[in-house]
Structure formats: C-alpha cells, structure tokens
Amino acid sequence: MLEIKNLHARVDGNEILEGISLTVKAGEIHAVMGPNGSGKSTLAKILSGHPSYEVADGQILFEKNNLLEMDAEERSLSGIFMGFQYPVEVPGVNNAEFLRMAFNARRVRDGEEEIDPLDFDELLSEKMKMLKMENKYKERNLNDGFSGGEKKKNEILQMAILKPKLAILDETDSGLDIDALRTVAEGVNSLRNEKNALILITHYQRLLDYIKPDFVHVLHKGKIVKSGDKALAIELESQGYDWVTTEN
C-alpha cells in the first residue's frame, strides 16, 4: 500500500530525514517510536502533503501512485489520514459542519451524491457515541478551546467519519487519560480491517497494549535505526533509547 524509498527531506535548509525506507502493506500496523526531535512528525507531515517540507531525494508510492505529486487534498481524498500531534484550532468553523464538508468532499470525488444532512447527523452521532463524546461537541467550533485530550478524540472522530485506507496517528495517545485511551484504542480497532493500514507514532508502549503492532521501528536522527516486532517496544520501555541509538 505504501512504499517509502530512501526518503530525504529538508525544512528551511535543515536535513531532517536522512534516508528512510518503509513498506506498509494492507492490514498491517506499524509503530514508529524514537526520541524527541528524531523526525517522526516530519515523516507524518510529509506523508500528508505539508508544503513546508522539501523532499530532496527518494520516492513515496501510495497504491502504486507517486504520492509526492499529489497535494494534501488529493492525498486525503485518495485515503490518507493524519491524526495531528497538535490538532489545529479553527475558531468560527463549526465542528459538525466541517465534518460533513469533509465527508461530502470524499463522496463527490467518488462520484456519489452529497449526504442528506439528517443522515449525516445520525452517522456522526453513532461515531461520537462510540468514542464517548458528548453531543455538545457537534455545536462547538473545530478544536476551538478543546482540551488536549478532547482534540485527540476529535481527530479519531474525523478518522472514523472519513474511513481512510492509511491512517498515520501522530502521538494520538499523548494527552489522553486512561479511560479515554482505552475508548480511543477500541475505536481505532473497530475501524480496522484487512484492507486498511495504520502507522502509529508513539512514545509509549501502553498504546501498543491496546493496538497491537505487527512491526515496531525506531527513528533516530532522521533514520530508522532498528526495526522489530512488539517485543522491541517492550524493550525500549524498560531500557530507553540509548541502547539502540548508541549502537549506530
């Protein structure tokens, strides 16, 4: 589904990613871990089409298409979703209305008719119930004044509505309390099937207890320095990053 080959990327002249290769197949879950500043969010933003990052070398194929030639809108419409580490507040844009716009953008692209507002409201209610979100978040403006945890839940709500093929969740677990983490993890799991894939960026093995990864990668200074299975995450939890990063 996703093939990253030797990706080098810069921002404002600084080389941040220094040759990343990663292949994600349908049905798989990949966890990406690594110390602060190692380039995890950079990778996520490049995948979702952020204009500030300059790809200096390498290739990204998504379902055999050249991802780097697509803008953020196209990537979203073709099934890529990024859950932001720091979701942006957009005052003045109603949450439910925005979700409906995003949902309809996808329908229109697929040649379908826009959804009836009442039907959408029903769909939204159902997803919000799954995530234990109160109805009042429909009326609120997009992330505006949301607490850290509420913003993360709202990201997963968007994911649940948009049903992406590939979701990249950037530290969705940070900021969630224990109950919310379980709810969100259950939500994410319920959206899984053999046709979609997940990249989880996280610092904590705790999330991986709920959402079990097939692969764990450690990013350090813009490179994947180690890959393994879930055992790697457990090892990292007890030993820290030193033992993987000093090896290189």
Ligand X SMILES: Nc1ncnc2c1ncn2[C@@H]1O[C@H](COP(=O)(O)OP(=O)(O)OP(=O)(O)O)[C@@H](O)[C@H]1O
Residue 48 binds Mg ion, judged by CB under 5 A: no
Residue 85 binds Mg ion, judged by CB under 5 A: yes
User: CB–CB of 96/107 below 8 Å?
Assistant: no
What count of other Cβ atoms lies within 10 Å of the Cβ of residue 6? 12
Q: Which is nearer to ligand X, 46 or 96 (CB)?
A: 46
Question: Can you give the binding site for other proteins, defined by CB under 8 A?
Answer: 48-51, 71-73, 75-77, 81-82, 84, 87-93, 98, 101-102, 105-106, 109, 141, 158, 162
How many helices (DSSP H) and strands (DSSP E) are in the chain?
Answer: 10, 10
Q: Which is nearer to Mg ion, 36 or 147 (CB)?
A: 36
Burial of 30 (0-12, 13-18, 19+ CB in 10 A): buried
- Report d(CA 44, CA 109) in Å as an integer: 24
Q: Which is nearer to ligand X, 85 or 183 (CB)?
A: 85
Residue 41 binds Mg ion, judged by CB under 5 A: yes
Q: How far is CA 69 from CA 14, 31, 51, 53, in A?
A: 22, 26, 12, 13
Closest approach, Cβ 42 to ligand X, in A, equals 3
Closest approach, Cβ 55 to ligand X, in A, equals 14
Closest approach, Cβ 86 to ligand X, in A, equals 9
Residue 143 binds Mg ion, judged by CB under 5 A: no
Q: Which residues, numbered 42-71, are part of the site for ligand X (CB under 6 A)? A: 42
Burial of 179 (0-12, 13-18, 19+ CB in 10 A): exposed
Residue numbers of the site for ligand X (CB under 6 A)? 11-12, 14, 16, 34, 36-42, 85
